[in-house]
Chains A and B, each alone.
Chain A
Amino acid sequence: MERKIKRLAIIPAYNEQKNIGWITKTIRALDREIDVVIIDDGSSDDTVYQAVQAGGKVIKHSCNMGYGVALQTGYKYALERKYDYLVQLDGDGQHDPKYIEKLFKVIMHEDIDLVLGSRFMEVDQGVKVPLQEHSNGMARKWGIRLFGSLVSALLRLRITDPTSGYQALNRRVIQFFTRDFFPCDYPDADVIAMVYRAGFKIKEVPMVMANRKTGASMHSGLKPVYYVFKMFLSIFMTFLRKKPTLKERAQGPRQK
C-alpha cells in the first residue's frame, strides 16, 4: 500500500508575535493536511505562545542562531520525520500563505526539485501579474536583480528572484540542505547556485509579496554591505569548489 504523502510548512521566526499567529492560522485553514512547524530562533517575545495558540508545532532554539540555522533546523526536522515535500516561508508577513498551494502543486506534479516564489516574474501562464514595488527602495531592488542576472549568467538558467525565501523543496533537496555546507548566515542566491550545480531542477513561480507589516527587517544598518560582499564571495566560491557528486548527494547528513 502506498503511504500517504506528507507535507510540511516551516516558518523560521524571530520576535514575530504579531505575524506568526495569523500566518499559522491561515495555513491551517488552507489545508489541514499540511503540518506547520515554527522554528523559534530564541525569540524574547510571545512568538512561541502565539504560534502554539494558532495550532502550530514549535521547535525552540535555545539561543538566537540566525535565519539560516533556523531554516536548517526545519530541514532536519522534515528529514527526521520523513516528509516528502516542504514549503518554507518567512514569519514576517511578507509571504502570503495563499501561494503555498501553488508551490506544492508545482513541486508535487512536475519534475522539479526546488520551486522559488519570484517577485519579479511578470507573466503567469499568459496573465500579467502586477510587479511588486518595494518600499525599501531602488537600491535593494536593483541589488536583487543584480544577483539574479549574475546567477542567471553563471548558471545559464533564467532566475529573476534568487533572494526569495519563499520556496518549496522535495525530499532530495531537503536531504541536501541538511548537510554541513548549507550556508547558515544568509542562505540566498548562493544556495540556488549550489543546488543547480548539484544537478537539481529549479523552477520559478510568480507571486506578489507584501512589504513587511511589523517588526524589524533582517537587512538593516550596515548589513546590506556585508550581504552584498558575502553573496559575491559565496557565489564565486560555489563555482570554485568541486561539484557535489551524486554519491555525496545521496548521503544523509554527515556524521562527524
Chain B
Amino acid sequence: MSAKQKIAMMIVCVLLFLFVLDLVRRRKLREEYSWLWLFTSAALFILVIQYSWLEFISKLIGAVLPTTTLFIGALVFLLFLAIQFSMRLSKLTDQVKNLVQENALMKEKIEEMSRDVEPRSPVTDSV
C-alpha cells in the first residue's frame, strides 16, 4: 500500500468517525445505532496503520491483494447494517401494528361512551 493510499484511507476513517460522533452529539443518530459505524471506522483505521495485520488477514481468507480484504470488510459491514435495519423495521412494524389496534379499540370505546352520555347526539362516522 502506497503512502498516498494510506493517507487517503486514514482521512476517510477519521472523517467518518468524527461525523458519526457529531451526529450522536446533535442527537441525529441514536447511540444504539452508532456503535456499528464507530467500530467499523476504528477497525479500518487500525488495519491501515498496522499493515501487517491486514496482510495476515488477507492470507487467512486467501485474498491476493490487501485492498480486497478492505473491500470485503466494507461489504460485510454494509450487509450487517442492512440486516440490522431489517430487524429494526420488523420491530417497528410490530409496534405500529399494536398502536393502530389499540388506537382503533380506544376510539370505539370513546365513541360508545359519548353515545351513552348524550343518547340523542348522532353517531359521527366521518371517515
Contact = CB atoms under 8 A, between A and B. Distances in A.
Q: Number of contact residues on A: which range applies?
A: 20 to 34
Interface string B97-127: 1101101110110000000000000010101
A159 interface: no
A58 interface: yes
Given A62-B100, A63-B100, A69-B100, A80 B125 contact: no
Contacts of A123: none
Given A60-B107, A73-B101, A73-B104, A180 B94 contact: yes
A236 to B, nearest CB: 18
Interface residues of B, number: 14
Contact of B101 (A48, A52, A76): A76
Nearest to B96: A65
A72 B96 CA distance: 13
Interface in A176-223: 180, 184
Nearest to B112: A57
A61 B104 contact: yes
A83 interface: no
Most buried by A among B100, B104, B107: B104
A14 B55 CA distance: 60
B125 A48 contact: yes
Given A43-B127, A180-B94, A61 B100 contact: yes
A189 B66 CA distance: 50
Contact of B104 (A49, A52, A60, A180): A60
A187 to B, nearest CB: 13
**7 tightest Cβ-Cβ pairs between the two chains A and B:** A73-B101, A59-B108, A59-B104, A61-B104, A69-B97, A52-B125, A61-B100
